[in-house]
Amino acid sequence: MLGKEQKGSFCADGGEEIMAAVNRKTGFFAVCVLGVMLVGGCASSSDMDSMKNTLTNLQVDMINQKKDMAAQKERVSDLSKDVTTLKEYSLSAVKDSQSSIVSQTSDLSKEVQVLKGRFDENKYYSDKTIKDLVAEKELQQAKIAALENSVKELKAKVNAAAAQEEAQKPADKAADTPQDKAQPAQKKEDAAQPSAAKDVIKQLYDDAHVDFKEKKFPEARQKFEKFAKDNPKHELAPNALFWVGETYYGEKKFDDAILAYESLLKKHPQHDKARGAMLKQGYSFIEIGDKKTAKIVLEKLIEKYPRSSEADLAEKKIGEMLSRNTAASPKGKKKKR
């Protein structure tokens, strides 16, 4: 048993150690236990030793926990660095990918623009070539028509000469009187008069063609109109009416050309020139901006003469109009950009 002084000293020492333990933050549990012991009286020396060991162990545990926490913090810091690095790498990869895609898109856009430019250029030259070929074809057709007319005239002259020779044979076998001798000469003179008149008429038509080829459209038109008016039943009268329309078309007087072609179509609807008149009438309506009427005329031409070259040209012209309408629409403009 300890004396009162020893107990007081021990209690004082124990109290100081307890306060030191509290000041060192050894743990709430130890403080509570020591507090209970103080309230109940001073603890024994063995109890104090045990308590010191407990406090020491608690301090060691706290130190270990602090180390563990520091290690955990370090691991968290490393993980944060890794995450940051991964984010930076991912962002860099995404940016590089986006930059590559943008660059490829730009290159493709440039290639498309180049190809489009080449396509438009080729289309322009193709259309121009087709127009030139059509014009050349029409000119060749006009020349062929002129040659055919010349051949017909030559055949007519040959037939007239043959008929004249046949007429002279009976006259030679008739009685040899002055009156009978005069009859063949008179017949020959009468037969020569219509032939001469035909030559004059044909010469007017040929002169008009020469003026047309030289692009003297007013002079050619005047001669063609005179020919058609003075010789309405002549086989070349429909041709003359057609070429009247062509003179207006050559001067770009499309309204007058439409009326001239219509005159031919009304007077000679079954003539070979009716196909060309319908085709050029459709072209004229396009030139004055009346595409609806032009389409009707060209479709009528295709329906009436489906296997003709004029029908082929009409189909191409309708296709051109449709493609232009598509390009002119809002949707077509958007694609064009």
* Structure-token pair, residue 225: 């109109």
pLDDT at site 263:
94
**Taking a C-beta distance cutoff of 8 angstroms, is the pair 321, 295 a contact?**
yes
Strands (E), 116-250: none
**Contact assessment for residue 191 and residue 167, using Cβ atoms and an 8 Å cutoff:** yes
Mention every residue, 6+ apart, whose C-beta is less than 8 A from residue 202: 149, 153, 236
Rounded alpha-carbon distances, angstroms, from residue 49 to 34, 38, 39, 41, 149: 12, 15, 19, 16, 146
Round to whole Å and give the CA distance between 32 and 58: 14
One-letter amino acid identity for 336?
A: K
Q: What is the pTM for the complete model shown?
A: 0.43
Each residue's pLDDT tens digit, 200-222 = 778 889 999 999 999 999 999 99
**Whole-number pLDDT of residue 236:** 93
The pair of structure tokens assigned to 234 is: 């002549």
Report pLDDT for 191: 46
pLDDT in tens, 57-88: 887 888 988 888 989 888 888 898 888 888 88
> Can you give the C-alpha Rg of the chain in angstroms?
59
Query: What string of pLDDT tens digits covers the 337 residues of the chain?
Result: 445 444 444 444 555 555 555 455 555 555 555 555 555 555 577 877 788 788 888 878 889 888 889 898 888 888 988 888 888 887 888 788 888 888 888 888 888 888 888 888 788 777 877 877 777 777 777 767 766 665 566 556 656 666 666 666 554 444 444 444 444 544 444 444 456 566 777 888 999 999 999 999 999 999 999 999 999 999 999 999 999 999 999 999 999 999 999 999 999 999 999 999 999 999 999 999 999 999 999 999 999 999 999 999 999 999 999 988 777 766 555 444 3
pLDDT for position 169: 57
Q: Both tokens of residue 150?
A: 């010349």
Instruction: Show Cβ contacts of residue 52 under 8 Å, excluding neighbours closer than 6 positions.
Output: 17
Give Cβ neighbours of residue 16 (< 8 Å, ≥ 6 apart).
Answer: none
